[in-house]
């Protein structure tokens, strides 16, 4: 995992206890729920899941809610980890799909062994045995971020560079489509999409090479994945020319510092902590006999008809020091009515 400002220690400092007394009223007697929170591979976005699981285990009196990471972003490694976790006694799962289609058979296997699954951060493609998908409305987030970029670039036709994530990530195409939509609506142009760069080495190589050759041909940058946001922020700082405007995604310390120093105009924060925390709450409730409400007000996206938005917000220089409060309030709001809205626990 790359070194970022969002270390485990910082994550714990900022997010531990973020729900507070409101969660205590939802806790129940100790049960034997053991949840594994499993991303598709190593990535700083999911670091908050470790604290979220620990807090969920404490607040909801679970036997365990452990963060377990495959060594590489390979579907076979994630599937092996999920199967071994089931064999070790884990009986509930919060999963970011290694592949929205290729992961479905493993999810069905887990569910058939009475281990409920909630997709978090990204969705499985319907049909799957996952109860629902809890994540950022990534298309909407990328759309709103691009609109903010267009606003700060000003009038006239502008040229936009889009930096985004792994093509196997179910969110990537949603983001590509949303950025193009926002640009087309406003008469601007996406001159280049650079994808498959949500890892340090390809991001450094491709972003720096493109800016070295074409920085004069770009008016704005929208980055819709974590690592490209960090690399591009550092690249703009090295160039030192604040003519190119940029909106990033997520809350890495490098990104936040670049916003404070005027190299970035803002970032679209997500709520990975809320996904892990509320996802663990829901998995436990499903294990204890709750069912998903037939008339639950799910949204639909390109992958599933059972989507719940965990929240997103634009953070600029005026809000950069209080972004944690934004995540905290979003998680509280999501949890407060979650059972009544989405579950039938009669």
Instruction: Read off the pLDDT of residues 108-133 as tens digits, 9 standing for 90 and up.
Output: 999 999 999 999 999 999 999 999 99
Distance between CA atoms of 174 and 159, rounded to whole angstroms?
20
Per-residue confidence band for 19, with pLDDT thresholds at 50, 70 and 90: low
Cα torsion through 243, 244, 248, 252, rounded to 10: -60
Residue 22 has pLDDT above 50, yes or no: no
Residue 278 has pLDDT above 90, yes or no: yes
Domain that holds residue 167: 138-269
Burial grade of 13 (CB within 10 A; 0-12, 13-18, 19 or more): exposed
19 CB-near residues (< 8 Å, 6+ apart): 55, 59, 277, 331, 332, 335
Clarify whether residues 222 and 288 are in a common domain: no
Clarify whether residues 158 and 254 are in a common domain: yes
The answer to the question of residue 85 being in a domain is: yes
Would you call the peptide bond into 127 cis, given omega within 30 degrees of 0 as the criterion? yes
The answer to the question of residue 223 being in a domain is: yes
The answer to the question of residue 30 being in a domain is: yes
The answer to the question of residue 164 being in a domain is: yes
Q: Report the run of H or E that residue 332 belongs to, with start and end.
A: helix 323-336
Clarify whether residues 41 and 186 are in a common domain: no
> Mean pLDDT over residues 188-196, rounded?
98
Burial grade of 35 (CB within 10 A; 0-12, 13-18, 19 or more): buried
Domains held by the chain: number: 2
DSSP states of 59-96: HTT-SEEEE---SSS-HHHHHHHHHHHHHTT--EEEE-
pLDDT of res. 346:
84
Maximum average pLDDT range among 22-31, 162-171, 260-269: 260-269
Domain end marker among 269, 284, 305? 269
Clarify whether residues 43 and 108 are in a common domain: yes
Per-residue confidence band for 29, with pLDDT thresholds at 50, 70 and 90: very low
Clarify whether residues 248 and 143 are in a common domain: yes
CATH number of the structural domain spanning residue 278: 3.40.50.2300
In the chain, the largest separation of any two C-alpha atoms, in whole Å, equals: 62
The answer to the question of residue 280 being in a domain is: yes
Per-residue confidence band for 220, with pLDDT thresholds at 50, 70 and 90: very high
Clarify whether residues 57 and 178 are in a common domain: no
Strand runs (DSSP E) across the chain, as ranges? 34-38, 64-67, 92-95, 117-120, 133-135, 159-163, 189-194, 220-223, 245-249, 266-269, 291-292, 307-309, 313-315, 343-344
> Mean pLDDT over residues 260-266, rounded?
97
Distance between CA atoms of 42 and 83, rounded to whole angstroms?
18
pLDDT of res. 25:
38
Clarify whether residues 277 and 255 are in a common domain: no
- What is the total residue count of the chain? 346
Distance between CA atoms of 10 and 66, rounded to whole angstroms?
18
pLDDT of res. 5:
38
Clarify whether residues 143 and 265 are in a common domain: yes
- Quote the DSSP letter at residue 103: T
The answer to the question of residue 291 being in a domain is: yes
For the entire predicted model, the pTM comes to 0.83
Going by C-alpha positions, the residue among 150, 140, 142, 177 that lies closest to residue 265 is 150
Clarify whether residues 196 and 125 are in a common domain: no
Asked whether the beta carbons of 80 and 262 are under 8 A apart, the reply is no
Clarify whether residues 260 and 304 are in a common domain: no
Clarify whether residues 226 and 281 are in a common domain: no
Clarify whether residues 166 and 231 are in a common domain: yes
The answer to the question of residue 319 being in a domain is: no
SS3 268: strand
The answer to the question of residue 296 being in a domain is: yes
> Mean pLDDT over residues 193-206, rounded?
96
Pick 169 or 35 by higher pLDDT.
35
């Amino acid at each position: 995992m790359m070194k970022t400002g969002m270390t485990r220690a910082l994550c714990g400092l900022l997010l531990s206890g973020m729900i507070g007394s409101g969660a205590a009223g939802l806790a129940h007697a100790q049960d034997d729920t053991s949840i594994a929170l499993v991303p598709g591979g190593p990535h700083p976005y999911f670091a908050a899941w470790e604290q979220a699981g620990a807090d969920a285990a404490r607040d909801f009196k679970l036997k365990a809610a452990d963060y377990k990471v495959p060594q590489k972003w390979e579907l076979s490694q994630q599937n092996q980890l999920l199967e071994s976790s089931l064999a070790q006694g884990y009986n509930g799962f919060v999963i970011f799909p290694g592949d929205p289609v290729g992961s479905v058979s493993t999810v069905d296997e887990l569910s058939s062994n009475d281990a409920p699954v909630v997709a978090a951060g990204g969705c499985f493609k319907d049909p799957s045995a996952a109860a629902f998908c809890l994540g950022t409305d990534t298309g909407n987030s990328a759309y709103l971020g691009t609109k903010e970029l267009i606003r700060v670039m000003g009038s006239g036709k502008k040229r936009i560079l889009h930096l985004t994530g792994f093509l196997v990530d179910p969110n990537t195409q949603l983001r590509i489509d949303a950025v193009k939509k926002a640009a087309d609506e406003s008469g601007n142009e996406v001159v280049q999409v650079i994808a498959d760069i949500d890892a340090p080495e390809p991001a450094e190589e491709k972003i720096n090479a493109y800016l070295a050759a074409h920085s004069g041909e770009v008016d704005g940058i929208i980055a819709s994945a974590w690592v490209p946001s960090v690399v591009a922020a550092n690249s703009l700082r090295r160039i030192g020319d604040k003519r190119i405007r940029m909106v990033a995604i997520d809350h890495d310390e490098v990104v936040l510092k670049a916003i404070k120093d005027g190299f970035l105009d803002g970032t679209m924060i997500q709520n990975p902590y809320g996904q892990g925390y509320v996802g663990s709450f829901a998995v436990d409730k499903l294990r204890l006999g709750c069912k998903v409400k037939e008339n639950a007000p799910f949204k639909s996206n390109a992958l599933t008809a059972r989507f719940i938005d965990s929240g997103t917000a634009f953070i600029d220089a005026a809000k950069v020091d209080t972004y944690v409060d934004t995540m905290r309030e979003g998680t509280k709001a999501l949890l407060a009515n979650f059972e009544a809205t989405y579950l039938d626990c009669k």
